[in-house]
Amino acid sequence: MVRAAIALGLAGTVSVLAVAGYARVAPLDPPEARAPVAGTVVVDARGVVLRRDERSGLRIPVPLGAVSKLAVAATVSAEDRRFWSHPGIDPLAVARAAATLGSRPSGASTITQQLARRLYLQGDREPLLLRKAREALLALELEGRRSKSQILAMYLNDVYYGRGAYGIEAAARAYFGLSARELDLAHAAYLAGLPQRPSEYASPNDPATEARQLYVLDRMVEDGVVSRAAADAAAAEPIALAPPPATIARDFVSYALDELARVRPDLVGRPGLVIQTTLDAGLQSEAERLARLRLGEIADRHATDGAVVAIEPGTGRVLAYVGSAADNDPSHGGWIDMARSPRQPGSALKPFLYSAAFEHGYTPASPLLDVASAFPTDDGPYQPLDYDRAFQGMVPLRTALGSSLNVPAVRTLDALGLPAMLEITHRFGLRSLSDVEVYGLSLTLGGGEVPLLDLTNAYAALAAGGRLAPPYAVERVLDASGRVVYQHPAAAPVRVLSEQNAYLISDILSDPDARIPGFGTSTPFDLPFRAAAKSGTSTGFRDNWTLGYTPQIAVGVWVGNADGSPMHDVSGVEGAGPIWHDVMSAAAMSRRMTWNAMPPGIVEETVCSPTGLLPGPACPTPVRELFVSGTQPTATEHYWSRLPDGRVAVDPPTEARPWAHDAGYPVAGGGAAPSADPLRIVAPVPGTVFVVAPELPDERIVLRAAAGPAVERVTFELDGRSLGELPVADPWALATLSPGTHTLRAIATLKSGQVATATSTYEVVGR
């Protein structure tokens, strides 16, 4: 009876004072209009804060339904256990506060009163009783205008928890790296105890903090929210705070903000936005660390910078984005975003060349020539070389791509034509390749320039079975009230390559045996799971790349110098390759790596390497190969034959016969059908210019031709002067360099009696 009388008396007093203060607060602004304006916050896919406006603290408003029910209950038990039943003020709490005057005070403000005070009475210096009266009136009016759930949501989004975090979502992320939805009982009770004294309860191992958490848990038991056993278990659970966020993803945040400005320019500069991105902050942090670690290992070879991009195939979601690994060092281009800067990709374009070749009838077994070759251009003969300056002779396409052989790639581009190559690269999103007059046949070796971001996304299309989705960084944007104001549309990938051809390219790029001729048996591309990989190195070691993928993730790496200066003999295997290996391994820690199932329409057939035809009786190299149904061979090869002495001989195309001779193969004569091109001059290439060194007056050059099996006799004429008859197996002669223009004519007499000729003109100048 006494306590009830006290309560009623205090309630009446509050009411009188409230009426007295009415004129000071009416009319009441909408509470949403009084909430502090939050700064823009950029978060990763799980809500890890990437950037925030430090001046306004961290604010991430969420609806009440996005907060753990345990966290809601803990807040009510700790702050206002009769919240759901009182009208905005709690007479029993007021009575309790009056009864404890002179000792440690007991709080009498309800959640609604606390919200009213934060929204409407900040900085008010009026006498305590009058301020309390106004607070009570404001609370009553708030309760009349808003539902209990709305009031609690506003409170939970506004109250200060320490660590610069306003609102429970921001607090959960700042303290634990979790969302408010993920809070369990122990973490919910910890946060619910903070608003009373955030600085005093900041450390989870402090006795005061532990006592406060236990107080909240006891109140929840008393309120019947949780059992005693659950509360005791929560009290015993260790609480570990997340480390302060490191500065990561600087270039990614800039990329995301640029993207938002492009798709929703009306949101630029709008305060209070929460920009939710696609980034995996854990993978991002590892990619930054690993890139810097590996760059340190080759710093003495003038490799100062690197970039890494990871994209989810089929969606285009950017999962990691390191624009520069130069540690913000401006002397090494640390502020230049190399993920978006076009650079020469070297051989990293070859998968797209061979994708076009598949569309023009080639197969993984198609025989390609890797022999000394020259192509006439406006600037003189173009003579590509393989990385090891050696040649493999005739090789299947699988080996040519897997070992990144340059000569077969250039010969394939010459056969297909530059428009076919440009068409497919544009189809894969590589729109920066547009200067047709400049590229020529060097395009397949990286003669153009592409950004790492675009090239990684092109590889992601291969990983997605030939479906291209544009890369993007911004998933959705929330305004200050938590309302979604932008949502990235659902991915609608475009078919840019048939599923069958994409599978064949992926099968080759993931084939370790196909890499052996070019890279040996041990490379950074070897992982505990199946993955496609391709490296690239531009001319002069200015850029090197490694790109690869599984169906779950595509990763691209660039290493070089932002100013374009050359590295010291750093190839894509040595520079970008180890970073790619490490980032793929890090990605596998949080995702299960699998491989695409073989699509319908792919068949397997035994063929004879390197011809790609059905094995003949002397074939020593039968292999199993994949084909798109209908492209498998039906003819039998005659490349291999057995000589009377038991040795196996080869009968290669005319251009490859000198290579076969140099490689020590017995060369069959006439086992194959006569070639339509029975004679070729191998050296010098038409248009070659030789410079005479004065100190070497007797300098000489090799004149060399290749004769097919139908040839019976070969002679050379130099400037009309006969050099005599030459060995048919390897027709060659020496000539002294003398200034002037010279014409070499090779004449072949065929077994049929016909005559074939070939001509090459070259020039010798003094120095």
508-565 residue pLDDT tens:
999 999 999 988 888 899 999 999 999 998 888 899 999 999 999 999 999 999 988 9
Look at residue 550 in the predicted model and tell me its pLDDT: 98
DSSP 8-state code for residue 83: T
Mean pLDDT value of segment 586-605? 96
Look at residue 8 in the predicted model and tell me its pLDDT: 45
Look at residue 96 in the predicted model and tell me its pLDDT: 61
Most confident of 103-112, 347-356, 642-651, 707-716: 347-356
Q: What percent of the chain has pLDDT over 90?
A: 51
Look at residue 124 in the predicted model and tell me its pLDDT: 60
Q: Residue 77: CB partners within 8 Å, gap ≥ 6? A: 192, 216, 219, 220, 222, 223, 225
pLDDT, greater one: 136 or 263: 263
Beta carbons of 571 and 544 less than 8 angstroms apart:
yes
DSSP 8-state code for residue 50: E
Look at residue 56 in the predicted model and tell me its pLDDT: 63
Q: Above 70 in pLDDT, residue 436?
A: no
Look at residue 17 in the predicted model and tell me its pLDDT: 44
Q: Report which of 109, 101, 158, 156 is spatially closest to residue 131, judged by C-alpha positions.
A: 109
Q: Above 70 in pLDDT, residue 16?
A: no
Mean pLDDT value of segment 641-667? 86
Look at residue 697 in the predicted model and tell me its pLDDT: 63
Q: Poorest-confidence range of 77-81, 517-521, 608-612?
A: 517-521
Prediction pTM value? 0.76
Q: Poorest-confidence range of 46-60, 490-504, 581-595?
A: 46-60
360-382 residue pLDDT tens:
999 999 999 998 777 766 556 66
pLDDT band at 698 (very low <50, low <70, confident <90, very high): confident
How many C-beta atoms surround the C-beta of residue 292 within 10 A?
15
Look at residue 14 in the predicted model and tell me its pLDDT: 47
Q: Poorest-confidence range of 51-65, 67-81, 297-311, 587-601?
A: 51-65
Structure tokens at 419: 């428009």
| Side-chain-side CA neighbours of residue 409 (13 Å) | 31
Structure tokens at 446: 């990286």
Look at residue 444 in the predicted model and tell me its pLDDT: 63
Look at residue 333 in the predicted model and tell me its pLDDT: 59
Look at residue 4 in the predicted model and tell me its pLDDT: 46
Alpha helices in 342-428 (DSSP H): 350-359, 397-402, 406-416, 418-427
DSSP 8-state code for residue 323: S
pLDDT band at 696 (very low <50, low <70, confident <90, very high): low
Beta carbons of 226 and 217 less than 8 angstroms apart:
yes
Q: Residue 739: CB partners within 8 Å, gap ≥ 6? A: 692, 764, 765, 766
Tell me the average pLDDT of the chain.
86
Q: Taking the domain 2-34+67-158, which CATH number applies?
A: 1.10.3810.10
pLDDT band at 185 (very low <50, low <70, confident <90, very high): very high
pLDDT, greater one: 417 or 472: 472
- CA dist 493 to 103, 556, 664, Å? 69, 20, 51
pLDDT band at 103 (very low <50, low <70, confident <90, very high): very low
Q: Poorest-confidence range of 191-195, 500-504, 635-639, 724-728?
A: 724-728
Look at residue 762 in the predicted model and tell me its pLDDT: 85
Q: Taking the domain 654-766, which CATH number applies?
A: 2.60.40.10
pLDDT band at 20 (very low <50, low <70, confident <90, very high): very low
DSSP 8-state code for residue 526: -
Mean pLDDT value of segment 666-674? 58
Domain boundaries, the chain: 2-34+67-158, 305-588, 602-637, 654-766
Q: Poorest-confidence range of 19-23, 192-196, 545-549?
A: 19-23
pLDDT band at 9 (very low <50, low <70, confident <90, very high): very low
Q: Residue 98: CB partners within 8 Å, gap ≥ 6? A: 6, 10
pLDDT band at 503 (very low <50, low <70, confident <90, very high): very high
Mean pLDDT value of segment 63-91? 92
Tell me the C-alpha distance between 615 and 640, whole Å: 9
pLDDT band at 54 (very low <50, low <70, confident <90, very high): low
Compute φ and ψ for 322, nearest 5 degrees.
-105, 105
Q: Above 50 in pLDDT, residue 493?
A: yes
Q: Report which of 436, 377, 435, 387 is spatially closest to residue 408, judged by C-alpha positions.
A: 387
Look at residue 59 in the predicted model and tell me its pLDDT: 83
Tell me the C-alpha distance between 709 and 671, whole Å: 7
Most confident of 456-470, 568-582, 637-651: 456-470
Mean pLDDT value of segment 166-191? 92
Look at residue 99 in the predicted model and tell me its pLDDT: 53
Q: Above 60 in pLDDT, residue 7?
A: no
Look at residue 245 in the predicted model and tell me its pLDDT: 63
E-strand ranges in 90-223 read 160-162, 165-166
Beta carbons of 262 and 22 less than 8 angstroms apart:
no
pLDDT band at 634 (very low <50, low <70, confident <90, very high): very high
Give the CATH fold of the 305-588 domain: Beta-lactamase (3.40.710)
Structure tokens at 536: 């690239």
| 76, 79, 85, 90 alpha-carbon torsion, rounded to 10° | 180
Look at residue 734 in the predicted model and tell me its pLDDT: 87
Q: Poorest-confidence range of 218-222, 327-331, 399-403?
A: 327-331
Look at residue 385 in the predicted model and tell me its pLDDT: 66
Mean pLDDT value of segment 569-582? 91
Beta carbons of 385 and 577 less than 8 angstroms apart:
no
Q: Report which of 522, 515, 551 is spatially closest to residue 401, judged by C-alpha positions.
A: 515
Mean pLDDT value of segment 456-460? 98
Angle (deg, nearest 10), helices 69-79 and 148-158: 90
Look at residue 669 in the predicted model and tell me its pLDDT: 63
Q: Above 60 in pLDDT, residue 605?
A: yes
Look at residue 539 in the predicted model and tell me its pLDDT: 80
**Owner of token pair 């992926």:** 506
Look at residue 200 in the predicted model and tell me its pLDDT: 82
